[in-house]
Chain A
Amino acid sequence: MQLAIPRRRAAAAARPRRVDLLPYLMVAPAVLVITAFSLLPTLYGVLVSLYRVEFVELLNFVGLRNYSEVLADPRFWNSVRVSFTFTGSSVALTFVAGFGLALLGNQRVRFRGAFRTIALLPWVTSYVVTYLIFRWILNSDFGLLNAVLVEGAGLPRISWLGEPGLALGALVGVDVWRAAPYAMVLLLAGLQGIPQELYEAASIDGATRVRSFFALTLPLMRPTILVLLVLLTIVDFNVVVAMLVLTGGGPGAATEAMSLRMYYEAFTYTRMGPASAIAMIIFAANLVLSGVYMRLLRTERHS
């Protein structure tokens, strides 16, 4: 690549000064649709959040009234709490489970291929399918989990999706089941980037496996780990379908995250103004997280 640059520059200088339209035509379709249907809608979303909106018509400018309405609503603050509880516990547990899976998948053992394939099945399965299957498994009357508890262990039936704490716990549990394979793939890529000679050198120096894990693996994996944590955080923070399908945000509003709150405001109650205000607050949170992500990547590239 480095060799190609001076050569191309020389060619450009030699050519007569005439604008070559070809590259512009080549990028035009992508740039036009992305600008029209991704970048401009984001700006339009800012506008919508400052208007009184009826269905899809922007009626009149109301300044920050949508925001103050949202911030005065206890359901919003409840959703903030749910978002942070869900995201925090889900990210932490997914990371631990994913790291375990990656260490297993990295061992030189038989069936490693089969292990990786099967462990990844949850990742290709859609949210709706995943959460629907678990809604059936967690069903309090006929579900598999209660059957095992009642018949196998003689415990009383548990209403998994009917109690606030349990419902949130179930959401986190299923999310870990779904996301741990994703964490595994990224962490495996990181693990395989560590030169094997380092471990050999460490073991010659008398380091145990546990010691080389903490002294070698973890520090060398730091960039991958940080990127993974931020990616997982952004995904969990923006998830709608998990709550929509598994609990519908219930019982009450116990599992109604900010993302689901926004979805309901917009498409159940058709209150587009307040919904946009919530969207902007979520966007701000995401920008902070993305900023962290970019910073981490920059340090990764320099090291």
Chain B
Amino acid sequence: MATISVARPTRPRADPLQVALYGAMAVVMTVALLPFVWALLTSLKPERQVFAFPPQLFPDPATLYNYGRAIDHGLLLALFNSTVISLTTVGLVLVAGSLAAYALARITFRGSQLVLFLIIAPMMIPGLVNLVPTYIVMAKLGLLDSYQGLILIYWVHSLPLAIWVLRAFFQTIPGELEDAAAVDGASRLQSLWSIVLPLSQPALAAVALLVFLNAWNEFVIASIMTSSALMRTAQVFLYLNMTDVGVNWGEMMASALAINLPVLALFLLLQRRFIAGLTAGALRF
């Protein structure tokens, strides 16, 4: 997926095609950014400016009042819940995923094809289909409204893609490195830990980001699994505030932006890895 770009002959400056190109890019960037900017401006307005028509463009004076209100209504707890759930999911996916991917990529064993099939098959089952049975199973196991229940579901949902991507990546690492280590007496697990995993950092990072993003942004399962205010994830908190509290748009926009900030920050810092994860999911399949 490396960027291959060969210089085209440079064109003269006033090329109308270039002008149109930059114009189109400007329009696209505006359309992509405008909703976020509007949400930000709304979140900084005092209530009477939020509900004004025609709307006032800029808040006057800008206030963090809406953010304070969101915090009063439980924003921080919701962010904390989502952080615990998402990070634990990432950890579990990386551990179970690397182990399984390594065995499937590097060790010949009877039944490996069946194992691969069992692991990949769920990718063909849309999450929606499992919603009702998952709810019933979780209710019977007493895992509704708990961290463990959600983490378990997110773990299971993320593993197939993680194993698929990691297995493909492990296969590209030359076997000679491990053979040398084996001669020196390293066990399979030692060579996974000290040779394969360090060399697989790009793939591990891409998988970790994708899993975090999916867990952080997931709503449907979280909405059916959490019932108490204490267990709400960030996305559920946001949705329920919309339906429960009446709609105070200033506060809603404040919560929405605060909840979106972690994934936005990760994306801006680690964009390349994100894109690698996204395309890995779709194209390596």
* Partner-B contacts on A (CB < 8 A): 1, 4, 7-9, 12, 19-20, 22-24, 26-27, 29-31, 33-35, 37-39, 41-42, 44-45, 48, 56, 100-101, 104, 107-109, 111, 114-115, 117-130, 132-137, 139, 141-142, 144, 147, 150-151, 177, 181-182, 185-186, 189, 192, 196, 224, 227-228, 231, 234, 237-238, 240-241, 244-245, 259, 262-263, 266-267, 272, 275-276, 279-280, 282-283, 286-287, 290, 297
Q: Give the chain B neighbours of A114 by CB distance below 8 A.
A: 29
Q: Is the interface of B mostly helix, strand, loop or mixed?
A: helix
Q: A20-B107, A39-B121, A133-B35 are in contact. Are A117 and B135 (CB under 8 A)?
A: no
Most buried by A among B3, B126, B253, B282: B126
Question: CB within 8 A of B53: which of A7, A12, A142, A231?
Answer: A142
A119 touches B29 (CB 8 A): yes
Closest Cβ–Cβ distance, residue B139 to chain A (whole Å) = 5
Majority secondary structure of chain A interface residues (helix, strand, loop or mixed):
helix
CB-based contact A266/B235 at 8 Å: no
Interface string of B67-86 (1 = CB under 8 A from A): 00000000000000000000
Residues of B within 8 A of A (CB): 1, 3-8, 18, 21-22, 24-25, 28-29, 31-33, 35-36, 38-39, 42, 50-55, 95-97, 99-100, 102-104, 107-110, 112, 115, 118-119, 121-122, 124-137, 139-140, 152-153, 155-157, 159-160, 163, 171, 175, 188-189, 213, 216-217, 219-220, 223-224, 235, 238-239, 242, 249, 252-253, 256-257, 259-260, 263-264, 267-268, 271, 274-275, 278-279, 282-283, 285
Chain B positions within 8 Å of A118 at CB level: 28-29, 32-33
Contact in complex: B132, A186 (CB < 8 Å):
no
> For B171, what are the chain A residues with a Cβ–Cβ distance below 8 Å?
1
Contact A41-B283, Cβ < 8 Å, known A147-B53, A290-B124: no
Q: Are B163 and A30 in contact (CB under 8 A)?
A: yes
Q: Which residues of B contact A129 (CB under 8 A)?
A: 235, 238, 256-257, 259-260
Bound Cα distance from A20 to B274, whole angstroms? 37
Instruction: Name 29 A/B residue pairs within 8 A (Cβ), A-sorted.
Output: A20-B107, A22-B103, A22-B188, A24-B103, A26-B99, A26-B100, A27-B104, A31-B115, A31-B119, A33-B155, A33-B156, A38-B157, A39-B121, A45-B133, A56-B140, A104-B21, A104-B24, A107-B21, A109-B25, A117-B271, A120-B271, A126-B235, A132-B238, A132-B252, A135-B242, A177-B31, A192-B4, A266-B132, A290-B124
